Structure 1
Amino acid sequence: MTIRTRRTLATLAVVGLVPALAACTGSEAPGEEGNTPVPPGSAELSGTVTLVTHDSFALSDGLLESFEADTGLEVQHVAAGDAGTLVNQLVLTQDSPLGDVVYGVDNTFASRAAQAGVFEPYAPGDLDPSVADQVEPGLEGLTPIDRGDVCLNVDTAWFEDADLEPPAGLEDLIDPAYADLTVVTNPATSSPGFAFLLATISAFGEDGWQDWWAELADNGLRVTDGWSDAYYVDFSGAGEGGERPVVLSYATSPAFTVTEDGSESTTAALLDTCFRQVEYAGVLAGTDNPDGARALVDFLASAEVQADIPENMYMYPADESVELPAEWEQFAPLADEPYDVPAPEIAEHRDEWIEQWTATVIG
């Protein structure tokens, strides 16, 4: 069995594999007349650009070096932890920013950073319409880089061995037959965890979601701070000794637990439990190198990086015209109708919902 999931990303160098990039292009930052980014290769592009990301950022060998060669910029990479931790750090350090560009702020946390004034509005000028359409109200000035569905995954081999039908959806998880089988991540510290909380709020409504979580907690739920611990320590399907066959992960994860002959995956995503996650890149307000920062955002949105995302960050590229790995159609489809909560509603209720979840589940 081959297992390659997002944990791999935390240990990969931020490097690349494709030939030298074509020149990145950009547009004026909204509200900044005459501030058109300088094309790569111009003498005006120089110095260091610091890219701040979550721990799961990775590119193929040579790709980032090609960008540096084309632009004359030097890119330094800072990994700040899980996406939730990343946003907390951005907000706390906004008067002395951690870097020039951020990647990995998603639609569950981005409104908090936007309201705090963390970003300088900027978007590349040649985005595919499918990319531009993924910018939610209140998040204008950020650039979608990738997308994916956060949802429950099951270890199908475990359930087969136990002669137990896998759960089909959220309601099944509170059945005593599935006691002590589920592990999720804390929505206060984990972007997948918060995305899943939003899925349950959308599914059960304001009057029902806390009752569902209370029943799930009573049914032996385990909560971890981050995705890696949930997937690699607790999940039985990761091949590392975990004992719980239901885990919060991504719809793409089963594409990386495929048997050696490629005929099947030993895990499956429950597509009726999904929340659509979009990860953004943005220029950080107060950047010391604004032209270099915009060129780096252009690079992250470029065709070369978009094509690189599935095999390295195991997410769908934001650009829907990009060709996907052949096995994804079979093992990693997106949900037809993922749960959704609008960004303004998330911004208004985030702290309240997390406090209510904590009181209900953690106590």
Structure 2
Amino acid sequence: MTAWPARRPRPGPHRTALLGCAVLSVALAGCSLLGEDGSPDASGGTDTVVLVTHDSFALPQQLLREFESQTGDRLRVLASGDAGALTNKLVLTRDDPVGDVAFGVDNTFASRALDAGVFATAAVDLPPGAAAYALPDGTDRLVPVDTGDVCVNIDTGWFADRDLAPPATLDDLVRPAYRDLLVTPGASTSSPGLAFLLSTIAEYGDRWPDYWAELMDNGAALTAGWSDAYYVDFTQGGQDGTRPIVVSYDSSPAFTVGDDGRSTTRALLDTCFRQVEYAGVLAGAANPEAARDLVQFLLSPQVQAALPESMYVFPVRSGVDLPASWARFAPRPTAPYTLDPADISAHRDEWLTTWTEVTTR
């Protein structure tokens, strides 16, 4: 889950570049929330805790300064691509970790990181509601921080203007009525694209390659990433797109609300795949105590409340008030598609190879 859609006139959500520090480079160039001279805050702390995360980590700087103030630890943030690139980095550096805490490994990559011994056991208290998003195995090493669902979204006005009933299910997307209307980010190059592929695998089992062959024969378009699919090809993306069906997120319609107070898009809740992002203390962390404090901080009420507006995801903590637009326009699916993270880990490469063969034939 590393790209949440932008649906408001500012640097865009879905993980574009709303970064908590001035610069977070994909080359793992770090930044601190303290002074450039590296001096500690008034609490007298001198330790540094290094958070390794994806490029779209975007909590408000005020919150991260609050963590530094509370603990006296200097916080350094290292960005490393999307969820897949982040996981690869953590696995490759497991014997000499580049940080103390990792945040952003999601349920499509969690088993790979756990199997590689990337994370250490850390006694972190889960807040109310978070246990529902915990991994079947490895909860003592990876704790859920946020969640969201990758769903097919539609331009409701486009269908209304043509008096065409919009699709509702995955089955509908291969019908002739929706030929040349769908755009999706690719599964091999995009986290939401991979999640959409996993939705089809969960729905169709071993028949999923046949479904994808039908989908491509029905004119589905593929892009390298979510931004191109949403902003360029989608009819509500703002750049004269021609496709009114796009793979995006369940929260997307909350950011396409017009002056009339209505959203111009809708998520198809029968097409969604559940994504969860986790945080954990890295095995061999130089500062494991501060690392545990940081993981616990990510589960705090103030951080959980900031997630919808800053990172466009849902909190895992129950009882957190959502923005009014989310409560109205971002209903969550009641039965999203899921797959066992261990099955994803075991078959991901095989599935992606087959998907590439089917979509490029």
The residue aligned with 1:250 is 249
1:343 to 341, 351, 354: 341
Residues 104-253 of structure 1: pairs in structure 2 closer than 5 A = 104-125=104-125, 127-140=126-139, 141-206=141-206, 208-253=207-252
For 2:70 and 2:327, locate their aligned partners in 1 and report how far apart those are by CA, in whole Å. Answer: 35
The residue aligned with 1:7 is 13
Aligned identity (percent) is 55
Distance 1:347 1:42, change over 3 A: farther
SS of 1:322's partner is coil
Gaps of 5+ in 1: 16-40
Distance 1:104 1:111, change over 3 A: same
Which amino acid is 1:89 matched to? K
1:283 to 281, 284, 288: 281
Per-residue CA deviations over 1:35-63 (Å, capped at 9, x if unaligned) read xxxxxx987x6322222222222112411
CA drift of 1:86 comes to 1.8
Residues 304-319 of structure 1: pairs in structure 2 closer than 5 A = 304-319=302-317
For 1:243 and 1:279, locate their aligned partners in 2 and report how far apart those are by CA, in whole Å. Answer: 32
Which amino acid is 1:111 matched to? S
Q: Retained in 1: the 8 A contact 2:103–2:280?
A: yes
The residue aligned with 1:34 is none
State the superposition RMSD in angstroms: 2.3
CA drift of 1:129 comes to 4.1
TM-score by length of 2: 0.86
SS of 1:335's partner is coil
Q: Retained in 2: the 8 A contact 1:137–1:344?
A: no
Gaps of 5+ in 2: 1-6, 22-41
The residue aligned with 1:329 is 327
Which amino acid is 2:228 matched to? D
Structure 1 residue runs of 4 or more that deviate by more than 6 Å after TM superposition = none
Q: Retained in 2: the 8 A contact 1:151–1:269?
A: yes
How many residues align structurally?
335
CA drift of 1:248 comes to 1.0
The range that moved more, 108-117 or 271-280, is: 108-117
CA drift of 1:95 comes to 2.8
For 1:276 and 1:287, locate their aligned partners in 2 and report how far apart those are by CA, in whole Å. Answer: 30
For 1:52 and 1:225, locate their aligned partners in 2 and report how far apart those are by CA, in whole Å. Answer: 24
CA drift of 1:355 comes to 1.6
CA drift of 1:123 comes to 4.3
Distance 1:186 1:118, change over 3 A: farther
Which amino acid is 1:56 matched to? S
For 2:224 and 2:13, locate their aligned partners in 1 and report how far apart those are by CA, in whole Å. Answer: 14
For 2:102 and 2:12, locate their aligned partners in 1 and report how far apart those are by CA, in whole Å. Answer: 19
For 2:332 and 2:267, locate their aligned partners in 1 and report how far apart those are by CA, in whole Å. Answer: 10
The range that moved more, 283-292 or 3-12, is: 3-12
Distance 1:52 1:8, change over 3 A: same
Q: Retained in 1: the 8 A contact 2:235–2:242?
A: yes
Distance 1:219 1:345, change over 3 A: same
The range that moved more, 108-117 or 73-82, is: 73-82
The range that moved more, 310-319 or 348-357, is: 348-357
TM-score by length of 1: 0.85
Q: Retained in 2: the 8 A contact 1:309–1:316?
A: yes
For 2:114 and 2:266, locate their aligned partners in 1 and report how far apart those are by CA, in whole Å. Answer: 35
Distance 1:6 1:205, change over 3 A: farther
For 1:179 and 1:233, locate their aligned partners in 2 and report how far apart those are by CA, in whole Å. Answer: 18
SS of 2:129's partner is helix
For 1:316 and 1:246, locate their aligned partners in 2 and report how far apart those are by CA, in whole Å. Answer: 23
Which amino acid is 2:55 matched to? D
